[in-house]
A and B are shown apart, each in its own frame.
Chain A
Amino acid sequence: AQKVTQAQTEISVVEKEDVTLDCVYETRDTTYYLFWYKQPPSGELVFLIRRNSFDEQNEISGRYSWNFQKSTSSFNFTITASQVVDSAVYFCALSSGGYQKVTFGTGTKLQVIP
Chain B
Amino acid sequence: DTEVTQTPKHLVMGMTNKKSLKCEQHMGHRAMYWYKQKAKKPPELMFVYSYEKLSINESVPSRFSPECPNSSLLNLHLHALQPEDSALYLCASSRPPNEQFFGPGTRLTVL
| Interface residues in chain A, defined as those with a beta carbon under 8 Å from any beta carbon in chain B | 33, 35, 37, 42-47, 50, 52, 91, 95, 98-102, 104-107
Contacts and interface: CB of A to CB of B under 8 A. Distances in A.
Contact of B103 (A44, A52, A101, A106): A44
Interface string B75-111: 0000000000000101010001111111111010000
B100 A47 contact: yes
Interface in B14-73: 31, 33, 40-43, 45, 48, 50, 55-56
A105 B96 CA distance: 19
A66 to B, nearest CB: 14
B45 A101 contact: yes
Nearest to B104: A44
Given A43-B105, A100-B48, A100-B56, A107 B42 contact: yes
Contact of B56 (A33, A43, A52, A101): A101
A22 B40 CA distance: 18
